[in-house]
Amino acid sequence: MYGRKASQLVKEFASGEKGQLTPFNNDLFDQVVAECSQHHGELQSLIRKMQEKGLDVQTARNADHYGALIHLFSIVRNKRCLTAYVYNRAETIRNLLWKIGPVIPKEIEENLNHWEEEYFKKHSAALKSYMSKVLVDLTVTL
Amino acid sequence: MASGSVEGEQSSLADDYDALISTTDVELLKRAWRNEKAAPEILRFESDLITRVREQIELMEETVEEKLTVGTDPLSVSLYQMDLDRTLFLLRSYLRIRILKIEKYMFHIRKTEELWNRLSKDEKFFTERCTDDLKKHLEESVLSKLPENYQSYERQSVISEEDDMVPEPRLDTFVLCRSKEYLTGIQLEDGPVDDRSKLFEMEPDVLYFICYKSIKSLVESGKIDLL
């Protein structure tokens, strides 16, 4: 909790070889997502506690407030890590497309999750469409 | 003729040649390519230039074809071919550098009017598709699974005061540049705070290493070239 697993996820990506994709870590990813829901539940119950005590949630500064803040920061930190994981893998996928063209070799395809395969195909199509409009093949080795 | 005036004639011919070379489309393309390569953000698309270059490439391809069929000597043909290859290389590289910048900063470019207006029509289509694809990818993989209030791809949460999850290029990187004319009145963005009011000058044809932000508008207006 509190961002620890999320930072593991990011470290896993960062420690991989640049330009290579490790298998998508579905387990860890799902755990971090689950933690977000947990934190959100805790956050909401602390807010409720404050309301029950008759405090103004926006301005009151008691232990509940700071507790809620920690949960908020945890959710946002998790979100940043999860997004960074997916976003940076997507960037690696785009670079792969430039390097090896629109057909993914099987070894790499195994490491992508379902949405990443979709993204690869879509981006490949977008690039192809652009190149056909400008009538220039940009993937020719320069 | 006296030797003085022959030299004078030769040097003025050389000047004319220089002037001619510096304004050919290939030179203009080279310049646009160099600027695009060095600038951290995407620059204005040189629409007219690119149209002319494409026409010239077509012409050159036809010329090479013709020379081949007519049986011109291989050396001449290869010279024409080299010229064609060089121009094609510049065009490809120019377009590719721009596409890579779009891929890197797609959300930022899409939502910043100044940058959006610098794209060609085809680049705009591409950017729209890119942003839609990536947005959908992030939503399906991550964002839809998060609690409400945290599902935006641009902001960390609904409480964020601005779009804090959109990557932007760093405009305060340093670039090597040169001006053709004498320029004054440049406000340096990165000097010590009390010196920031001192205005900087650039002498023509001298290389300078400056913070891009300070000369951004001069690059846009074509007064400064990046290297």
- Res A49 pLDDT > 60: yes
Q: Structural domain boundaries of chain B?
A: 3-168, 170-227
Q: Which CATH architecture has domain B170-227?
A: 3-Layer(aba) Sandwich (3.40)
What does pLDDT average to over chain A?
88
- Cβ-Cβ contacts under 8 Å, A134 against chain B: 95, 122
- Cβ-Cβ contacts under 8 Å, B156 against chain A: 76, 79-80
Q: Cα–Cα distance between A48 and A64 in angstroms, integer?
A: 10
C-alpha distance from residue B73 to each of A37, B61, B62, B68 (Å): 75, 17, 16, 8
Higher-confidence residue of A58 and A37: namely: A37
pLDDT for A83 equals 92
Q: Is B146 exposed, middle or buried (0-12, 13-18, 19+ CB in 10 A)?
A: buried
Q: Considering only residues 146 to 165 of chain B, which have any Cβ-Cβ distance to chain A shorter than 8 Å?
A: 146-147, 150, 153, 156-157, 159, 165
- Res B150 pLDDT > 60: yes
The reported pTM is: 0.84
Q: Give start and end residues of each alpha helix (H) in chain B.
A: 3-22, 25-38, 47-70, 74-104, 106-111, 113-116, 121-141, 212-220
Average pLDDT estimate for A107-125: 91
Phi, psi of B218 (to 5 degrees): -75, -30
pLDDT for B199 equals 77
Per DSSP bridges, beta strands B183-187 and B208-211 are: unpaired
* Winning range, highest mean pLDDT, from A54-58, A134-138, B110-114: B110-114
pLDDT for B154 equals 87
pLDDT for A80 equals 92
Q: Considering only residues 97 to 136 of chain A, which have any Cβ-Cβ distance to chain B shorter than 8 Å?
A: 113, 115-116, 118-119, 122-123, 126-127, 129-130, 133-136
Work out the minimum CA distance from B22 to partner chain A, whole angstroms: 24
Average pLDDT estimate for A36-52: 91
Confidence tier at B189 by pLDDT (50, 70, 90): low
Work out the minimum CA distance from A47 to partner chain B, whole angstroms: 15
Q: Cα–Cα distance between B21 and B7 in angstroms, integer?
A: 21
End-to-end CA separation in angstroms for chain B: 43
- Res B214 pLDDT > 70: yes
Q: Does B125 contact chain A (CB < 8 Å)?
A: yes
Q: Cα–Cα distance between A5 and A36 in angstroms, integer?
A: 11
- Res B5 pLDDT > 60: no
- Cβ-Cβ contacts under 8 Å, A115 against chain B: 137, 140-141
Q: Cα–Cα distance between B13 and B7 in angstroms, integer?
A: 10
Of A42, A115, A124, A129, which to mutate for an interface test with B (greatest number of B Cβ within 10 Å)?
A115
Average pLDDT estimate for B128-144: 93
Could you give the domains of chain A? Answer: 4-134 (1.20.58.1030)
- Res B185 pLDDT > 80: no
Average pLDDT estimate for B115-134: 94
Q: Which residues, 6 or more positions from B122, have their beta carbon under 8 angstroms from its beta carbon?
A: A130, A133, A134
- Res A112 pLDDT > 50: yes
pLDDT for B204 equals 87
Alpha carbon A134 to its chain centroid, in Å, reads: 33
Q: Count the Cβ atoms, other than its own, within 10 Å of residue B33.
A: 19
pLDDT tens for each residue of B29-84 = 999 999 999 999 999 999 999 999 999 988 888 988 888 888 878 888 888 899 89
Q: Does B99 contact chain A (CB < 8 Å)?
A: yes
Alpha carbon B58 to its chain centroid, in Å, reads: 23
Query: What's the alpha-carbon Rg for chain B, to the nearest Å?
Result: 24
pLDDT for A103 equals 87
Q: Cα–Cα distance between B7 and B3 in angstroms, integer?
A: 6
Whether domain B3-168 has CATH 1.20.58.1030 = yes
CB contact under 8 A, A40 and B147: yes
* Winning range, highest mean pLDDT, from A53-67, B57-71, B133-147, B200-214: B133-147
pLDDT for A142 equals 47
Phi, psi of A88 (to 5 degrees): -70, -35
What does pLDDT average to over chain B?
85
- Complex prediction ipTM: 0.89
pLDDT for B135 equals 93
Of B98, B146, B166, which to mutate for an interface test with A (greatest number of A Cβ within 10 Å)?
B146
As a whole-number percent, the residues of chain A with pLDDT over 90 amount to 44
